[in-house]
């Protein structure tokens, strides 16, 4: 059974690039916030040229974030779909959503708030070696729940802050919106790091399960790669 290790590696690399994009946005956002805090009288920037330069950089950081998010999202969903197909072979009875939702669950509004987490947990359960070997060690799902909680907070805050920034027409309102977007960037970094952990751990689980299925080993420790 082919486990998508190459896709997993590519997904992790792209998630790393997304983190770098967020760090870039945070750095520029801090400068942008500081410039709005230092407005002169009548709302005129004290250094107009510097203000325009930082504003251009801030807009560029948003574009970089969007591009990395889209590319990373596409590769992640391709990996996720393959993991769901493998999990179907491991345990056809462990899934509460049809395979198509492994893609559409990320796209359809409203259901995207909980369908992907539910599918991830089902893949996790189906991929555990202990379904075949009761004595095999359990892999806690805590990281999945933490990842999803941070991700939902990130998406919610980011959307609200972006809309607030578009409507803001005063310095204080713009500062608040930029500050909220910086918090969203921090959450996005946390969600990306935890997503890397989820991708690596789930891929490793399927590798062990596939090795067990293909070789028919008698020892769960051998299949899990742990020392006897």
Confidence of residue 224 (pLDDT cuts 50, 70, 90): very low
Q: What number of other Cβ atoms are within 10 A of residue 145's Cβ?
A: 13
In angstroms, rounded to a whole number, what is the distance separating the alpha carbons of residues 130 and 149? 26
Contact 11, 76 (CB under 8 A): yes
**Residue 216 within any structural domain of the chain:** no
Domain extent, residue 60, equals: 5-211
- State what percent of residues in the chain have pLDDT above 70: 85
**Residue 217 within any structural domain of the chain:** no
**Residue 206 within any structural domain of the chain:** yes
Contact 61, 28 (CB under 8 A): yes
> Does position 23 have pLDDT exceeding 60, yes or no?
yes
Task: Tell me the β-bridge partners of 198.
Answer: none
**Residue 221 within any structural domain of the chain:** no
Global pTM reads 0.86
Confidence of residue 44 (pLDDT cuts 50, 70, 90): low
**What is the tally of structural domains in the chain?**
1
**Cα dihedral 126, 129, 131, 137 in deg (nearest 10):** -120
Q: Which residue has the tokens 């500062």?
A: 175
**Residue 222 within any structural domain of the chain:** no
Which of 126, 66, 141 minimizes the C-alpha distance to 91?
A: 126
**Residue 189 within any structural domain of the chain:** yes
**Residue 41 within any structural domain of the chain:** yes
> For residue range 141-171, what is the model confidence (pLDDT) as tens digits?
999 999 999 999 999 999 999 999 988 888 8
**Residue 110 within any structural domain of the chain:** yes
Confidence of residue 116 (pLDDT cuts 50, 70, 90): very high
- State what percent of residues in the chain have pLDDT above 90: 64
> Does position 104 have pLDDT exceeding 90, yes or no?
yes
SS3 45: strand
């Amino acid at each position: 059974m082919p486990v998508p290790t190459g896709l997993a590696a590519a997904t992790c690399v792209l998630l790393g690039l997304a983190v770098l994009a967020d760090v870039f946005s945070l750095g520029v956002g801090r400068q942008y916030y500081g410039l709005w805090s230092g407005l002169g009288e009548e709302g005129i920037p004290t250094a107009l040229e510097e203000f325009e330069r930082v504003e251009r950089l801030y807009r560029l950081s948003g574009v970089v974030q969007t591009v990395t998010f889209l590319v990373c999202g596409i590769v992640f969903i391709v990996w996720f779909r393959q993991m769901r197909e493998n999990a179907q072979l491991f345990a056809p009875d462990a899934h509460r959503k049809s395979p198509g939702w492994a893609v559409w669950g990320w796209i359809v509004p409203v259901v995207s708030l909980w369908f992907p987490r539910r599918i991830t947990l089902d893949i996790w359960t189906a991929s555990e070696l202990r379904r075949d070997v009761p004595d095999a060690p359990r892999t806690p799902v805590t990281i999945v729940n933490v990842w999803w909680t941070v991700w939902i907070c990130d998406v919610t805050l980011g959307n609200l802050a972006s809309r607030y920034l578009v409507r803001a027409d005063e310095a204080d309102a713009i500062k608040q919106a930029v500050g909220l977007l910086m918090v969203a960037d921090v959450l996005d970094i946390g969600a990306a790091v935890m997503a890397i952990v989820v991708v690596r751990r789930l891929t490793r689980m399927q590798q062990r399960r596939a090795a067990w299925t293909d070789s028919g080993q008698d020892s769960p420790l051998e299949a899990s790669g742990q020392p006897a």
